[in-house]
Amino acid sequence: MKAALRLLGLLLLAALALQLYFVGRIALMVLVDPESTAFQRSELWQLAQAPGSRKWQQVWVPYGSLPESLKRAVIASEDASFVEHEGVDVEALEKAWDRNAIAEKRADQTGSQLQAARRPARIVGGSTITQQLAKNLFLSGERTLLRKAQELVLTLLLEALLDKQRILEIYLNSVEWGNGVFGAEAAARHYYRKPAARLSNYEAARLAVMLPRPRYFETRPASGYLAARAGTIAGRMPAVAVP
């Protein structure tokens, strides 16, 4: 019994130490740009192993130099309530759950491989920009209840220690936009051969729509869904609040 209690105590201390480590890492981000994220490091390893793969592309751009068009587009596409919520958007989670259920039902009813191949990326949604950043910065890609709980804790820590501008700045500079392409500046140069500051509203909207599945859309530049969705997001952008 004593051994079990001692083990439990050690596990609790280890969990507390891990959370304190995360607090320190996030607090440092108030002033220091993160050199890389956990997701980037895992992708870098895969890039290094693949023969003939492209190099890591990333250029950090301060918040004030990031284009308003891209900020508005990403918020409109990924997290419309970004400036209002405290890290988790419960209403968006409920809507995403309903959309997923409907999509699954339709897929079961059609059962057509041809139609499945023509359908755009399955809507999963629900995760806020802060949640996505928490996952990319610190966590692996595994899907377990423990990892989701840690994601929630990290999300709350990010919201508590960083302001919305800093959260959006880190996100836009580190999110994946293609195979080995990270951040807004690298994405603008990769897809449009120009700096992010010169992106048009439609180009910014198109990049924002790519975010849920950037590698999928990178290989499908003529996607009708991508073009149509980008038009919708471009129409929403003027009404979007930016931190």
Name the residue among 90, 66, 92, 70 with its Cα closest to residue 79: 92
User: Quick one: average pLDDT of 75-85?
Assistant: 94
Q: Which two tokens stand for residue 32?
A: 């220091």
3-state secondary structure of 33: coil
pLDDT given at position 111? 55
pLDDT given at position 137? 95
User: How far is it, in rounded angstroms, from Cα 114 to Cα 96?
Assistant: 25
State percent of the chain over pLDDT 70: 83
More confident residue, 237 or 94: 237
pLDDT digits (tens, 9 = 90+) for 42-69: 888 777 776 666 678 899 999 999 999 9
Core vs surface per residue 43-64: b (16+ CB within 10 A) or e:
beeeeeeeeeeeeebbebbeee
CATH topology of domain 2-89+126-239: Penicillin binding protein transpeptidase fold (1.10.3810)
User: Quick one: average pLDDT of 79-96?
Assistant: 79
Task: Write down the number of H helices and E strands in the chain.
Answer: 12, 2
pLDDT given at position 112? 46
Is residue 117 pLDDT above 70, yes or no? no
* Residue 203 neighbours by CB distance under 10 Å: 22
Is residue 208 pLDDT above 60, yes or no? yes
**Which residue is associated with the tokens 């991508």?**
226
pLDDT given at position 158? 97
Q: Which two tokens stand for residue 208?
A: 């924002």
User: Quick one: average pLDDT of 131-160?
Assistant: 91
pLDDT given at position 147? 87
Domain ranges of the chain: 2-89+126-239
Q: Which two tokens stand for residue 148?
A: 């989701």
pLDDT digits (tens, 9 = 90+) for 209-233: 999 899 999 999 999 999 999 999 9
This prediction has a pTM of 0.85
State percent of the chain over pLDDT 90: 62
Is residue 5 pLDDT above 80, yes or no? no
**Which residue is associated with the tokens 């930016």?**
242
Is residue 107 pLDDT above 60, yes or no? no
pLDDT digits (tens, 9 = 90+) for 162-203: 999 999 999 999 999 999 999 999 999 999 999 999 999 999
User: Quick one: average pLDDT of 75-94?
Assistant: 84
Q: Which one-letter amino acid corresponds to residue 103?
A: A
Q: Which two tokens stand for residue 137?
A: 């910065």
